[in-house]
Structure 1
Amino acid sequence: MTQEQAHLPLQPVGNETEEWQEINDHQLYTMRFESAIQPPQATLVLVHGFGEHCRRYDHVSRAFAAQGIEVQTYDQRGFGRTGRKSGQLGHTQGIDQLHRDLTAMSDQVRRPGVPHFIFGHSMGGMITLSYAARHQGTAKLAGIIASGPAILLPPNVHEHPIIERTGIFLSKYLKSFTLKTRIQLEDLCKDPQVIEAAREDYYFYNIGSLQCLGDMLTVGPELIQSGAQTFACPLLLLHGSADVTTDPKGSRDFFANLPAALDKEYVEYDGALHELHNEPIKDEVVDKYITWIHSRAKGQKS
Structure 2
Amino acid sequence: MSTEEGWHTVDDGAKLYTKTWKASDEKARLVFVHGFSDHCNAYYNFFPTLSAKGITVYAFDQRGWGRSVIKSSQKGLTGPTTRVLADITSLIRPLTPSPVPLFLMGHSMGGAEVLTWMSQGPADVKKHIRGYLAETPFIAIHPSTRPLKMTVVLGRLAGKVLPRKQMVQVIDAKFVSRDSAVQKAFAEDRLCHDTGTLEGLAGMLDRAADLENGKVKISEGAGEGGITRLWVGHGTEDKVCSYGAAKEFFDTVTVKDKEFKTYPGWYHKLHAEPGEDSITFANDIAKWILDRSGATGEPNESKSKL
| Counterpart residue identity of residue 230, structure 1 | S
| Counterpart residue identity of residue 164, structure 2 | S
- TM-score normalised by structure 1 residue count: 0.89
Which residue of structure 1 lines up, in the alignment, with residue 225 of structure 2? Answer: none
Pick aligned residue for 2:293 from 278, 284, 297: 297
Pick aligned residue for 1:246 from 228, 236, 241: 241
- TM-score normalised by structure 2 residue count: 0.88
Closer/same/farther in 2, CA of residues 136 and 151 from structure 1, 3 Å limit:
farther
Following TM superposition, by how much is the alpha carbon of 1:157 offset from its aligned partner in structure 2, in angstroms?
A: 2.7
Which residue of structure 1 lines up, in the alignment, with residue 66 of structure 2? Answer: 80
CA–CA distance in 2 between the matches of 1:229 and 1:81? 32
CA–CA distance in 2 between the matches of 1:87 and 1:18? 24
CA–CA distance in 1 between the matches of 2:202 and 2:44? 29
CA–CA distance in 1 between the matches of 2:91 and 2:302? 19
SS in 2 for 1:221: helix
SS in 2 for 1:171: helix
Following TM superposition, by how much is the alpha carbon of 1:229 offset from its aligned partner in structure 2, in angstroms?
A: 5.1
Q: How does 1:249-268 map to 2 (within 5 A)?
A: 249-259=244-254, 261-268=255-262
The number of residue pairs the alignment matches comes to: 286
Q: Are the aligned partners of 2:118 and 2:218 in contact in 1 as well (CA < 8 Å)?
A: no
CA–CA distance in 2 between the matches of 1:84 and 1:58? 23
| Counterpart residue identity of residue 46, structure 1 | F
Structure 1 stretches lacking a partner, 5+ long: 1-13
Which residue of structure 2 lines up, in the alignment, with residue 146 of structure 1? Answer: 134
Which residue of structure 1 lines up, in the alignment, with residue 37 of structure 2? Answer: 51
| Counterpart residue identity of residue 106, structure 2 | G
Which residue of structure 2 lines up, in the alignment, with residue 134 of structure 1? Answer: 120
| Counterpart residue identity of residue 15, structure 1 | S
User: Is residue 223 of structure 1 aligned with residue 211 of structure 2?
Assistant: yes
Q: How does 1:32-43 map to 2 (within 5 A)?
A: 32-37=20-25, 40-43=26-29
Identity of aligned residues (%): 29
Which residue of structure 2 lines up, in the alignment, with residue 273 of structure 1? Answer: 267
CA–CA distance in 1 between the matches of 2:53 and 2:263? 24
User: Is residue 19 of structure 1 aligned with residue 9 of structure 2?
Assistant: no
SS in 2 for 1:151: coil
Query: Relative to structure 2, which stretch is displaced further, 200-209 or 283-292?
Result: 200-209
Q: Are the aligned partners of 1:43 and 1:109 in contact in 2 as well (CA < 8 Å)?
A: no
Following TM superposition, by how much is the alpha carbon of 1:160 offset from its aligned partner in structure 2, in angstroms?
A: 1.7
CA–CA distance in 1 between the matches of 2:140 and 2:109? 10
Which residue of structure 2 lines up, in the alignment, with residue 156 of structure 1? Answer: 144
Structure 2 stretches lacking a partner, 5+ long: 223-227, 295-299
SS in 2 for 1:205: coil
Following TM superposition, by how much is the alpha carbon of 1:301 offset from its aligned partner in structure 2, in angstroms?
A: 5.3
| Counterpart residue identity of residue 243, structure 2 | P
CA–CA distance in 2 between the matches of 1:301 and 1:26? 36
CA–CA distance in 2 between the matches of 1:112 and 1:270? 36
Query: Relative to structure 2, which stretch is displaced further, 142-151 or 224-233?
Result: 224-233
CA–CA distance in 1 between the matches of 2:218 and 2:10? 32
Alignment deviations for residues 24-55 of structure 1 (CA, whole Å, 9 cap, x no partner): 31011110111121xx2111111111001000
Q: Are the aligned partners of 1:223 and 1:254 in contact in 2 as well (CA < 8 Å)?
A: yes
CA–CA distance in 2 between the matches of 1:163 and 1:219? 17
SS in 2 for 1:143: strand
Alignment deviations for residues 150-197 of structure 1 (CA, whole Å, 9 cap, x no partner): 111122332221121121233233221111114211100011111111
CA–CA distance in 2 between the matches of 1:178 and 1:277? 29
Q: How does 1:145-224 map to 2 (within 5 A)?
A: 145-224=133-212
Following TM superposition, by how much is the alpha carbon of 1:236 offset from its aligned partner in structure 2, in angstroms?
A: 0.5
Which residue of structure 1 lines up, in the alignment, with residue 88 of structure 2? Answer: 102
SS in 2 for 1:243: coil
Query: Relative to structure 2, which stretch is displaced further, 19-28 or 103-112?
Result: 103-112
CA–CA distance in 2 between the matches of 1:215 and 1:67? 36
Alignment deviations for residues 186-219 of structure 1 (CA, whole Å, 9 cap, x no partner): 1000111111112221211111111121122111
CA–CA distance in 2 between the matches of 1:165 and 1:44? 36
Alignment deviations for residues 259-284 of structure 1 (CA, whole Å, 9 cap, x no partner): 1x431010111111000011131111
Which residue of structure 2 lines up, in the alignment, with residue 10 of structure 1? Answer: none
| Counterpart residue identity of residue 21, structure 1 | H
Structure 1 segments of 4+ aligned residues over 4 angstroms from their partners: none
| Counterpart residue identity of residue 278, structure 2 | K
Query: Relative to structure 2, which stretch is displaced further, 47-56 or 151-160?
Result: 151-160
Following TM superposition, by how much is the alpha carbon of 1:21 offset from its aligned partner in structure 2, in angstroms?
A: 2.8
Closer/same/farther in 2, CA of residues 132 and 294 from structure 1, 3 Å limit:
same
